[in-house]
Chains A and B, each alone.
Chain A
Amino acid sequence: MDALIAQLQRQFRDYTISLYQQGFLDDQFTELKKLQDDGSPDFVAEVLTLFFEDCVKLISNMARALDKTTGTVDFSQVGASVHQLKGSSSSVGAKRVKALCVSFKEYCEAKNYEGCVRCLQQVDIEYKALKTKLQDMFNLEKQIIQAGGRVPQVDIN
């Protein structure tokens, strides 16, 4: 059993580090993890749930605002949603999503329709990718706990 736990912990550690290295996560995510403790054991999961909900909501707002069939495109509307997504993604440490929002915002300000549509598509792909990755990470955590082990603190140097 110990060998299994050790193996799972190693896997978990490696996987987490890779997420940082690939730019999915940044320091802010580490900070979030620090806030999780015995008093709030599911804090990170809760916050990420909220974040992904926000993503869905905001992306649909953006899509609606960029919909040419309803009339002229309201770039300020798009910009507002992008701005909010930027805020929440930076708060959870979703590095790639945040970076996308920065360029997305620039396109909005330039009223570059194609640029905005492209960014919207990318944001959609990006947040879903992150969600999958994090799900895998949480699954690993779950396995470790089920095997009777403790989830290790991963030090991102």
Chain B
Amino acid sequence: MLTLYESQRRLTAFLLLLLTFCAYFTLVVSVKHENFKTCDQSGFCKRNRAYADTASSTSLWQAPYSLDASSVKFEQGILTGTVLKKLINSDETVRLPLTISFYESGTARVTLDEERRQKGDIVLRHDSKAKKQRYNEAEKWAIVGGTSLSSGAATSKGSEKGTTNVHYGPAGTFEAVIRHEPFGIDFKRDGVAQVKFNDKGFLNLEHWRPKVEKPAEDKKEGEEAVVAESSKEVTEDQSTWWDESFGGNTDSKPKGPESVALDISFPGYQHVFGVAEHAGPLSLKETRGGDGQYSDPYRLYNSDVFEYEMDSPMTLYGAIPFMQAQKKDSTVGVFWLNAAETWIDVTKSTSSANPLSLGILGSTTTNTHWISESGLLDVFVFLGPKPQDVITAYSELTGFTQLPQQFAIAYHQCRWNYVTDEDVRDVDRKMDKHRIPYDVIWLDIEYTEGKKYFTWDPMTFADPLGMEKQLDEHERKLVAIIDPHIKNEGNYHVVDELKSKDLAVHNKEGNIYEGWCWPGSSHWVDCFNPAAHSWWKSLFRYDKFKGTAKNTWIWNDMNEPSVFNGPETTMPKDNLHYGNWEHRDVHNINGMTFHNATYHAILARDKEEDKNNVRPFVLTRSFYSGSQRLGAMWTGDNQADWPHLEASIPMILSMGISGFPFAGADVGGFFGNPSKELLTRWYQAGAFYPFFRGHAHIDTRRREPYLAGEPYTQIITQALRLRYALLPAWYTAFHEAHTTGAPIIRPNYYVHPGDEKGFAIDDQLYVGSTGLLAKPVTTEGADGVDIYLADKEKYFDYFDYWMYEGPTTVKVAAPLDTIPLLMQGGHIIPRRDRPRRSSGLMRYDPFTLVIVLGHSGDANGTLYLDDGESFDYEEGAYIHRLFEYTSATATLMSRDLTPASSSPSKKTKEYLKSMEKVRVEKIIVVNVPESWNGKKEVEVSEELEGKSAGTRMAELEWHGKVEGRAAWAVVRDPGVLIGGGWRVGFA
């Protein structure tokens, strides 16, 4: 009977197992840490941290890198030379070619390579086919301009001995002081060092060496440094040089250790920002422990990190290795062009104030330590001095953000998944029925037949074209998901072609790599391959991707790439890409190459078939510096809880200052079910995300806005309509980003770089240059928020004109139906107040201008307008106006900002003709002078073809102050044209 008992016991165990199954479904969960490496588990990170520790703690430390003075040459803005690395316990040196380029823009670039690898004079282990060079093609993907060399840069003999100096930048105010031994560079502006390379001696470039089989010493990990010090002989931790295992996967590392690392210091700078994407505060924290600080460096290794946690330096889906440092009235930056896994340590040191010199405070210096696994050491330095200068210089290099179609900045309704074409049509009808505006509805992976992209499930999406036609009736769009993993299944034309044309990523043996993703066994298209790029383009033709129409756009997900059974949920690092570059070398760029291929595919679809000259829309999850040229990003799989709502704002602000401002977070939270309050607050916040999309996981309850019930649906609709009314302001901000790189939503430091107190503020935002200041509510049950006003300026509540005045922190009431939103004095905000079903249907609606008068009494604002869909704007088909109110003359002028042209293009004329009836229907003036009381009329004059066309009067309605609300006035239907020049006289 024992056997019987045993089997019962096992049954019991099984039942318990089942119970375990059920019990945990409802629990809130968080990131699976063990899936992702810490610095200590990442060999090169650990080695370089140990190197830094040794360099910092040993007085005997002698940085082994020196610049061979005799090798230094300077020609046409480029300095070349050879850095020599002295090997430990040996007289040998390793030759490292150095290039320092000085660009016309004032940007300097330092590149350090390794001669032996460069020449291919190395031997790879395991008969690897990998390319021998350090990866030198990152710039091919990331850099698109801004590299014309400076003609004015000039070298001078260093004032200090053993240095070479180069003057460059605007009026030669920048200077690079290159120290020969140990090698290092100080970048100065106006004679003051702003950025220092290798000031701490952490520069480290792991040179190639053959593996020497040593007699087993059986050292314990981590003891080497101690041993080294005690024996006064420097040895290195070799335990992770030749292979490395993590989570059951072994990286064969055929090229041995090859990391590059450098310390970059920002003397006098208290704050650093950037290195997106991380879920943490905008102002980066210190990373070497301490109270409230991180103990791991910021990591950049694009990964599908599900249920990511808040306030963490952990890597996320994308990487922008661009950092800005901020001190009072000065911003500088660096861009670390490297596509391999990268870690960044941040520490701050404060010099104590001298008690004898009154008024002089201690200054804080921020030190950073950049560590990449492989590739070149390639760093760009931007010396500012304004935030805008740094970001424009960075954007010139990596490209400006795409000017999106207007629908793309309106509201997107997404869910994993709308399950049938009828479901989509139903949501479309219901949004109309409830009078909720939206522009785009999305399809996640379930629309496909068995997760085979470019197919439709014939059972559930029998009539995609009919569905798209219905959407098109109200100028709405469909976005369908296409991922980079291609199902490995017979009779699927995409995988057949992928294999037969050999366009997939290869494994270390050189065969097609196979891994697991949504469809099960899959292959990954290798978009580094030009042939794959062209093939990918062909797949989006209407006859190839049947069931798509011209209002179908694309969403690229999982392009980190996400591989369910791979190390850290991605590809093995020894996989091989086109040109035999190892995956380790290109990992962080991979997502961008896929996004890029899709962007060009959509471009080609239009060029070859529609010929509408329209701009593609492609959303990506993974990104790198340069992805901003291709479309939008979102912050991936967040959760329906308050902390994730709160975190979305610093995350999107961080994207904004990183040159990729077209960013958003899933409204409502992807995982889990938001409470109605949370959902409502999230829509109110989402109305201020540049990319505004509601999304939800397949296991969540439906949450389309009309399902929330009252009062929630009404409040959500108000938030959506607010977004739509302000679309002209948003679109103008996008245009500014497109031309200058300026963030679309801006953190306090960016707008007020002289206000040190506000540098760390990351929970409120300015919209473009409009002076709109929003502070979305991100806490449960809040009935008000504190808004920080940095400047001595008046601010007015957007809705009721309640007046506030900075600099101070003000309390703003925010019951559930209220979004804390202020208007800074001195701006003119363009709006379109008529609610429509979609943004496309607002095209010919009249404008409302809101003039917000502050202390000076003057105000201005811009409006950029084009057809919202085509590239015709590149040929001049747009309206760009500057509205200026001058208090001295009490006049409002509309001036043309388009470059004067004697012969406007055909497209320009056509566009202006189409807009010839669009007028300003209302001018609201907030905080009008008391003297306007009793004023009944204003004088309106328009110019016609450059000439004044006479004047007429328009009615003015004055409203006096009530309680704390500012006095305001409305010009009734001035009737002036939005594209024309005119003047309204209030005097």
The answer to whether A and B interact is: no
